[in-house]
Amino acid sequence: MQLNCLDYSSTNRGGACTHDGSTQFGLVYSYGSAGSNNGQIASIADSVDNGRSAAYTYDALYRLSTAATTGSAGYPAWGISMAYDRYGNRTDQNQALGNPPMNHLTIDATTNRISGDCYDASGNLLAESAPPCPSPTYTYDGENRLAIYSSAAAYNYDGNGLRIQKCLPNCTSPTSSTVYIFSGSKVIAEYDNGAAVGSPTREYIYSGGALLAKVDSSGTKYYQQDHLSNRLVTDSSGNTFAQLGHFSFGESWYNSTSDKLLFTTYERDSESGNDYALARYNMSRLARFSSPDPVAGSIADPQSLNHYAYTGNDPINFVDPLGLSCEPTYSGPPDDLTFEGWVCTDGGHAPDLPAEGPGGGNSSGIDALAQAAKDLSKKKLDKKNCQKDLAELGVSADQIRSGAGAANIINGVGSTVPLSSLYATSPNPLVQRNANSVTGTVGSYLASNPGVVAVSQLGGSNIYVNPGLISPGNYFQNLGTAFHEVVHNVTGLTDPDIQRALGLNESPISENITQKLIRDCL
């Protein structure tokens, strides 16, 4: 399923998605023609103002190549084209039409950093000027978190790495300050300038991961999103309060209220123009982060080995809510408006955030996956598509629940358990027969495949994991990973066997399996 239509209006559509005079924000999505539809969005038609309609093309590596709008009196047409180097850095954003932002970078092929800019030894951007840097624009703490921006702002973080305070120009003698209260990775309240505990300056209300409303002294404002970002803000009477739009990589296009919640789920800092992305800061004008991803990346997706690039240079179809791992651009759908999202393969690492679902907390990766397996053992797994998947795999929901309850999560890093022993227990005779041809140990396999989260005992109960690739805060990803590995335990099937049974034809195999189980069953 793919997202085809969005409609925000005062009319009850009865489950249908159509646009008429009551539509305040409406979109129609198009993809490649039959036989060439790989899931990337080809165009988005705007029913309220056709001038905002946009078309996109991609290169052979699925990176955004061009973007252009139709144009109208209120929204003049613009077009951009991108160029990338061999390492996946966007080196040029050129104007093809109108007056969109342009940018040119020269990248040092040795360090993958911007030539002529100043960096510290950890690869964090210090200044957009040549070294030496006696007075850096960006100053970082011992955990590579941005602590000071020029002489304009200072930032403090909690033990989970979440930014809980911003002070202007500093926290010693601030002229203004904001304290942030989080639930999981979402800000639910903000206190400006020492506001009383019972009187937050702003409160935020969510449905799942989507922002529904902001409550402040002016009243309640409601946010409506497209597949990426906030686009329409309405008041309590349903009247349009603001409209928001950005260029492809996040630069501001129209934002008359200077709303800081402009690009995906990020907060845009007015002092720098950069986006706070939880683990790092995104510089939309450069199409890259200011600091490198601490995760090695996956050889299954070579572009993930570039530690600075934003979402593999496909900002139309990917989001990166944690600044570490990409997620589908649309999830938790209403009825048939489901977008079959993609997931970036950077190893699945995320900060140690408090869990956003049940069974989380700041536990280790092993504990987080064990809790996910325990929670899986209580799931109904009765959705229609889930039942179909299980039937294709030849298992029942009861078997999955039982297997999840019996799952034994083990640290596989450095394990000397022979890899062949995981195949020998499979009830599938073909898999058993191949056991003797499998060499090495669990530990050596995980070490040589840095993007692999887990390997399982086929037909058994053991699941060997790389705990460093499991985020305690990414609850539903952990639930999907547990489900995937339990399928191995219960069926004794290998990844290619499962892939064929589920009709998955793309790679990386393991990610497709996990994401399909999340979409269909969880």
Q: State pLDDT tens for residues 115-125.
A: 999 999 999 99
What's the chain's length in residues? 522
Maximum separation of any 2 CA atoms in the chain, in Å = 72
Mean pLDDT confidence for 218-234: 96
Q: Is the pLDDT of residue 336 over 70?
A: no
Q: Is the pLDDT of residue 416 over 70?
A: yes
**Residue pair 24/46 in contact by the 8 Å Cβ criterion:** no
Query: 172-196 pLDDT, tens per residue?
Result: 999 999 999 998 889 999 999 999 9
Q: Which amino acid is at 328?
A: P
Give me the pLDDT at residue 325, please. 57
Task: Report the alpha-carbon distance of residue 63 to residue 59 in Å, rounded.
Answer: 5
Structure tokens at 306: 């570039």
Mean pLDDT confidence for 478-506: 87
Q: Is the pLDDT of residue 133 over 90?
A: no
Q: What is the pTM of this model?
A: 0.68
Q: Is the pLDDT of residue 484 over 50?
A: yes
Q: Which amino acid is at 135?
A: S
Percentage of residues of the chain with pLDDT beyond 70: 89
Of residues 146 and 3, the one with the higher pLDDT is 146
464 Cβ neighbours under 8 A, 6+ residues apart: 410, 411, 412, 415, 417, 422, 442, 446, 454, 455, 456, 457
Return the ∠ at Cα 465 (arms to 459 and 470), rounded to 5°.
Answer: 130
300 Cβ neighbours under 8 A, 6+ residues apart: 345, 451, 507, 508, 511
196 Cβ neighbours under 8 A, 6+ residues apart: none
Segments of 98-175 assigned E as strands: 103-104, 118-119, 125-127, 138-140, 146-149, 153-157, 163-168
Give me the pLDDT at residue 342, please. 38
DSSP for 366-377 reads HHHHHHHHHHHT
What is the number of other CB atoms lying within 10 angstroms of the CB of residue 453? 27
Q: Is the pLDDT of residue 113 over 70?
A: yes
> Long-range contacts: 302-308, Cβ < 8 Å, 24+?
302/88, 303/61, 303/63, 303/88, 304/344, 304/345, 304/346, 304/347, 304/451, 305/88, 306/87, 306/88, 306/89, 306/112, 307/112, 307/123, 308/89, 308/112, 308/113
User: Which residue is it, tokens 């005079």?
Assistant: 21
115 phi, psi to nearest 5 deg:
-65, 135
Determine the 3-state secondary structure of 304 from DSSP.
Answer: helix
**Residue pair 63/312 in contact by the 8 Å Cβ criterion:** yes
What is the number of other CB atoms lying within 10 angstroms of the CB of residue 131? 12
**Residue pair 459/426 in contact by the 8 Å Cβ criterion:** yes
Of 23-37, 59-73, 90-104, 148-162, the range with the lowest mean pLDDT is 23-37
Closest to 226 in 3D by CA, of 343, 288, 317: 317
Task: Report the alpha-carbon distance of residue 371 to residue 3 in Å, rounded.
Answer: 32
Segments of 430-497 assigned E as strands: 454-456, 462-465
Determine the 3-state secondary structure of 192 from DSSP.
Answer: strand
pLDDT band at 298 (very low <50, low <70, confident <90, very high): low
Output the average pLDDT for the chain: 87
Closest to 511 in 3D by CA, of 493, 522, 492, 498: 498
pLDDT band at 437 (very low <50, low <70, confident <90, very high): confident
Most confident of 339-348, 402-411, 473-482: 402-411
Give me the pLDDT at residue 490, please. 94
Between strands 454-456 and 462-465, the pairing is: antiparallel
**Residue pair 162/174 in contact by the 8 Å Cβ criterion:** no
Closest to 167 in 3D by CA, of 159, 158, 179, 150: 179
Q: Is the pLDDT of residue 398 over 90?
A: yes
Of residues 509 and 412, the one with the higher pLDDT is 412
Q: Is the pLDDT of residue 330 over 60?
A: no
Query: 41-98 pLDDT, tens per residue?
Result: 999 999 999 999 999 999 999 999 999 999 999 999 999 999 999 999 999 999 999 9
Task: Report the alpha-carbon distance of residue 290 to residue 303 in Å, rounded.
Answer: 17
Give me the pLDDT at residue 241, please. 97
Give me the pLDDT at residue 127, please. 95
pLDDT band at 296 (very low <50, low <70, confident <90, very high): low
Mean pLDDT confidence for 497-503: 86
Query: 338-374 pLDDT, tens per residue?
Result: 333 334 433 333 333 333 333 333 347 888 899 899 9
Q: Is the pLDDT of residue 198 over 90?
A: yes
Strand partners, 9: 23
